[in-house]
Structure 1
């Protein structure tokens, strides 16, 4: 089996890092499930949809570059999806392993504000398939 190729980046690295930084400033509460989280998020400056989309897409690209392959699809609707992790090649239909979550959960995982096991335990991550555990790859961007 040939080695998986690293996907080409579409998001400029500096623009992606800036978008993640802006998201961090808008989501100050590290525990998304604490009752005071809503108050902290209400007090934080709002992030615009384009910046949020850029942060999500950049971190998905980062995941794919660190774990190239096609055996797992990570979905963060409505902003993006990527295929990653070596294994059986997926060409059509639903891949053998799928992970799906909201943009807030994905960015919290990608930046280390939320642990994979905690997100799965409370049902914030819908993961199926044998290669769907991303805990060894997260966080992607340390705080």
Structure 2
């Protein structure tokens, strides 16, 4: 969590709520997810992979062939709590995929080289 984005109040508040077994308030959860997605897009610029964290956000990232229409061939999707854990290093990529907490499709959909942020 070295980025200024990662240290935002929303990320800290969301992680605290999750640590206490609570669901973060919706606006806090949304801001935390979007902040960390923006950080990923900054650190792994490109448009070959779409990372989706419904219902709060999605970004295209990772260098490679650009996708322009329809469903992207390389998609990563997960719930907001899983995204916060992955982005902050509380959960490893392999573990999340093995446990089915992250759904991936496409040959470029491995984000392990870009996480944690």
Tell me the TM-score normalized by structure 2.
Answer: 0.91
Report the Cα distance in structure 2 between the residues aligned to 1:47 and 1:119, rounded to whole angstroms: 21
- Deviations, residues 57-92 of structure 1 (Å, cap 9, x unaligned): 000000000011110000000000000001111111
Gaps of 5+ in 1: 1-12, 29-39
Partner of 1:17 in structure 2? 8
Partner of 2:62 in structure 1? 85
Partner of 2:71 in structure 1? 94
Answer 1 or 2: higher relative contact order, Cα 8 Å, separation at least 6.
2
Gaps of 5+ in 2: none
Contact 1:60–1:82 (8 Å) recurs in 2:
yes
Report the Cα distance in structure 2 between the residues aligned to 1:67 and 1:15, rounded to whole angstroms: 15
Structure 2 SS opposite 1:81? strand
Report the Cα distance in structure 2 between the residues aligned to 1:60 and 1:128, rounded to whole angstroms: 18
Q: Note the aligned Cα RMSD (angstroms).
A: 1.7
Partner of 2:31 in structure 1? 54
Structure with higher Rg: it is: 1
Residues 101-140 of structure 1: pairs in structure 2 closer than 5 A: 101-140=78-117
Report the Cα distance in structure 2 between the residues aligned to 1:115 and 1:16, rounded to whole angstroms: 20
Tell me the TM-score normalized by structure 1.
Answer: 0.75
Per-residue deviation at 1:98? Answer: 0.2
Query: Hey, which bits of structure 1, 4+ residues long, moved more than 2 A?
Result: 13-16
